[in-house]
Structure 1
Amino acid sequence: MGGAQLEMPGMPRRLFPATPSKLAAFSDCPRRYRHAYVDRPTPARGPAWAHNSVGSAVHAALRSFWELPLAGRTAGSARQLLYGVWSTAGFRDAEQSERWRARAAGWLTDYVTGLDPADEPVGTERQVAATTERLALSGRVDRIDQRGDELVVVDYKTGRSVCTDDEARGSPALAAYVLGVRRTLRRPCSRVELHHLPTGTVAAFEHTDRSLANHVRRAEDVAADIAAATAAVDGGEDPDVAFPAAPGRQCGWCDFRPSCAVGQAATPPRETWSFLAEEEVVQAPPT
């Protein structure tokens, strides 16, 4: 099970290696965290999801867009990059996949048209890291922009719900990226932005030392709970007790549903294309 490490008196505290997705998994459902990060071999995962296929293709196209020579950074090039990485995984059929590929290409056209191709990002898909008193945080930032004397964290979004400033403020991942950019690049960074490609909107927040400290405190609390659960298993406790399931609607789309009887009993499975917005994107919370 990946045991807890003993600490010798007088030695520095061992930092918990954390990523935003790792901490989020435990917060959402300790059982899902165990399946993803503790159990070996990792239990079988469920099927691919169409909305993830859309998001992955758009992210990959935008990363490759900035790797093109300046003269090649055009809307047409962005569409071709999307076509080259498009996956049909999770879609109901070929017709639905083609329709969504065209829709995503439209998002890219509109988004790239609004960019200055000469405004070179400081980083794309950049790995950053930082430490706190108890954590070794790391994560991968979609894009890091230079704005005046400061750096800005940019996160691409392709979901059906419009992003809000409150979402930008409350995102643990974006806060971790700010800390990582500051430590890794040694530059001022406070602003985070969610770029929602389906609507062309931007949600933003300017972090302060206080807001970042609040995020760090919550992340360290989650890490402490993970360490306690892991230590309990190492001490002989039943893993299902130490890492309990948190059943709810989310069980309908959990990757580890095939391995979780509690989740299977909680709610019926969702269709793998059910998170696609078949109509126009509206301002509504995700289901």
Structure 2
Amino acid sequence: MTAPLPYGMQLPVQSQSTIYAEPWEAAAGPDDLAAIARVADRSGFDYIASCDHVAVPRRLAAAMSTVWYDPVATLAFLAGVTERVRLLSHVAVVGLRHPLLTAKQYATLDRLSGGRLVLGVGAGHVQEEFEALGVDFEHRGAVLDETIDALRAALGPEEFPEHHGKLYDFEGLGQRPRPVQRHVPLWVGGSSPAAVRRAALKGDGWLPQGDPRDRLPDQIARLGRLRAEAGVADPLTVGAITEPLHLGTPTWEVGRRTLTGTADEIAESLRAYRAMGVHQIQVRFRCRDRAELTDQMAAFGAEIAPHL
């Protein structure tokens, strides 16, 4: 029997870009996040995810908003109100911080949560954010490449990790607590050619950013080619972000791209992702308030997930 397709979700409230935020999120807060995380925990979600921006410049604030909760603090808070769901940074712009600082924060999160961390990383895109923190924006890809290598060492089992690179050089510096996991999964986000190459050569997983269904097969094939050419044999968790979902027949305008219908119809549509080589899907629900969202989440776990 084929194993079910794991499913996770980016949390609402904690990031409120106009691209995806629902109006009700503007007045929501910690109680809403905790309630949603508990439903995800009970409803079989593989992970809940939180984004990362330190500061949003005025020129982008109207589109991006300035509501971006810190992912470490958010996921640590939610670790305390959940039991099994994994905690994903989707994605942490780790190049903005020294890797020892990042390792300290996320190793502690993994320890506090009992080994539930998935570290999702990305290059970032907001130039002013990099400049304010004194980080090279033009070479952020190279910064991320080395940061990933340094994090591999700093999040490994050794109390005194060691890394010697062009940007970072450390040894003889102990950090405890160590992560519960001997190997913290590191998923690389992004859909640019550079991001796909980085995921193929350095990641345990790939988190695409906005790829429509018809583009995913070529991207997945490229991941496989790059890994084969480099002789990388370890498994890679390939992700996909689905279209927005609304179970049932909506009585309000949910958008033309939103998947609607019966549980069987939605399950059949989502099974196509597995057929193209996807290993986990990230879902998002159109909803008008927290109650509608949690109802949709619970229904997804009970009625759709068993048929994936």
Output the TM-score relative to the length of structure 1.
0.25
Higher normalized contact order (CA 8 Å, seq sep 6+, divided by chain length): 1
- The alignment's TM-score, normalised by the length of structure 2, stands at 0.24
Larger Cα Rg: Structure 1 or Structure 2?
Answer: 1
